[in-house]
Amino acid sequence: MTDAQRPHEQEAVLTAARRAREAAVDLATRSRAAKDAALNAMAAALEVDSALIMAANANDIDRARAMHTSEAIIDRLKLDDKRIGAMADGLRQVAGLVDPVGEVVRGYTLPNGLELRQVRVPFGVVGIIYEARPNVTADAAGLCVKSGNAVLLRGSSSARESNAAIVETLRRALSDTGLPPDAVQLVPGDGHEAVKHLMRARGLVDVLIPRGGASLIKSVVEESTVPVIETGVGNCHVYVDSSADLDQAIAILLNAKAQRPSVCNAAETFLVHQAVANEFVPKALTALKDAGVTVHGDERIRSYSKDVVRATDDDWDTEYLSLDIAAAVVDSLDDAVRHIRKHGSGHTDAILTRSQAAARRFVAAVDSASVVVNASTRFTDGGEFGFGAEIGISTQKLHARGPMGLPELTSTKYIVIGEGHVRP
């Protein structure tokens, strides 16, 4: 792209944002019934248009193959009838959830008789920046429409045609049910410049949610003047305390690491109290080896098996997202807490213990979005938490922390009702 084209691209992004803003004003006061009807129509339209969407997807896949993209990524990109059906089912599920808009968060009558209520309202315009899987396009659109927000979607360029086809279908369904189609838009333009314009559209875009790898999230956080909710990077720990049930600990560790290693709530490090290391570590290493997991251990872990790779300083900070795990022996619960504070990403950390005192100490001292006692880290998930849906998992402390469902896609406002009240 030449410099001469850039002002045009900026204008295109800002125009889309302004149209989203207009649509958001309309959407904000629509009833739950109107929004649910639109969501169900969006679901039906995806099924009706599935051949069109798959044709667009085939073009994306051809382009990816021509660029020698790995089969793993092509698998994430690929849409078939089953995956499109799952997208439609997801939208119907969101239609079944309670509408967060209008919920009274708190309310009371003040001593002077003023009635005060704090109620949930939509943000307005939400920007979602995401990678790879085109199903996020429909998921994010559904959650935003349900919560009364317009959404500006910026997917991966590798899924460009798939995303365009999905959005076209969703917009038609919105229009057919009388909702503003501009509530769901792709960010126009390609390349990083378009994202930059989105990130600088403060006042037009209320919040940006980047979903993807650490480098994507870091760049959004650094460059954006629009408020950002950070999501997803998970360097999760499992700490096996001196009083842990060791058989249970093996089962939990295996589940946390190997049940689905590519996701953010999978464990990336385990720490073992030295008092149980002799009994636990050999069993754990055997079980992990049988599950195909490579262990990157400190010297004390390595003393138990020659299969353990020597851990470097980097291992403690790495989100492997693969069948690898870092491991260390610690002298105390407090040492485990210190390790997690230093190296964790504030996503999910678990203690396995039979001691009430140890559990309480760990829960109080570990400052993560989700702190787990005697269960797998894999439970940190909007679906598992009973939220019905999830737009991402926040690893920051402002606004939302942990899995974000529909209420996390809203702000609030105060409504004050008087009878001629003035301040004395």
| 12 lies in the site for its own copies, by CB under 8 A | no
Pick the closer one to its own copies by CB: 88 or 217. Answer: 217
Taking a C-beta distance cutoff of 8 angstroms, is the pair 57, 165 a contact?
yes
Taking a C-beta distance cutoff of 8 angstroms, is the pair 298, 328 a contact?
yes
Which of 155, 297, 402, 405 forms a contact with its own copies (CB under 8 A)? 402
Q: How far is CA 141 from the centre of its chain?
A: 14
CB contact set of 269 (below 8 Å; sequence gap of 6+): 235, 236, 237, 238, 315, 316, 325, 326, 327, 328, 339, 343
Least distance from its own copies to the Cβ atom of residue 122, Å: 9
Place of tokens 């051809």: 62
Task: Considering only residues 246 through 265, tell me which ones interact with its own copies, judged by CB under 8 A.
Answer: 248, 251-252, 254-256, 259
Least distance from its own copies to the Cβ atom of residue 376, Å: 5
| 51 lies in the site for its own copies, by CB under 8 A | no
| 108 lies in the site for its own copies, by CB under 8 A | yes
Least distance from its own copies to the Cβ atom of residue 313, Å: 18
Which range touches its own copies (CB under 8 A), out of 137-145, 161-169, 298-306, 392-400? 392-400
CB contact set of 256 (below 8 Å; sequence gap of 6+): 236, 238, 266, 267, 350, 376, 377, 378
| 31 lies in the site for its own copies, by CB under 8 A | no
Taking a C-beta distance cutoff of 8 angstroms, is the pair 103, 87 a contact?
no
| 372 lies in the site for its own copies, by CB under 8 A | yes
Which of 29, 59, 157, 278 forms a contact with its own copies (CB under 8 A)? 29
| 107 lies in the site for its own copies, by CB under 8 A | no
d(CA 31, CA 38): 11
Least distance from its own copies to the Cβ atom of residue 69, Å: 30
d(CA 59, CA 171): 21
Residue type, 403: P
DSSP assigned state of 270: E
Q: How many CA atoms lie within 13 A of 323 on its CB side?
A: 11
Number of residues lying near its own copies (CB under 8 A): 70
109 conformational bin, left if phi > 0, alpha if psi -120 to 50, beta if neither: beta
Least distance from its own copies to the Cβ atom of residue 154, Å: 19
Which of 11, 71, 299, 367 forms a contact with its own copies (CB under 8 A)? 367
Task: Considering only residues 347 through 366, tell me which ones interact with its own copies, judged by CB under 8 A.
Answer: 359, 363-365
Least distance from its own copies to the Cβ atom of residue 277, Å: 21
Least distance from its own copies to the Cβ atom of residue 34, Å: 14
d(CA 253, CA 270): 8
| 84 sits in which H/E element | helix 81-95
Task: Considering only residues 181 through 240, tell me which ones interact with its own copies, judged by CB under 8 A.
Answer: 202, 206-207, 221-222, 225, 227-229
d(CA 91, CA 241): 42
Pick the closer one to its own copies by CB: 321 or 379. Answer: 379
Place of tokens 């020698």: 68
Positions that interact with its own copies (CB under 8 A): 25, 28-29, 108, 110-111, 114, 116, 118, 121, 123-124, 202, 206-207, 221-222, 225, 227-229, 245, 248, 251-252, 254-256, 259, 341, 359, 363-365, 367-376, 378-380, 384-386, 396-399, 401-403, 411-423
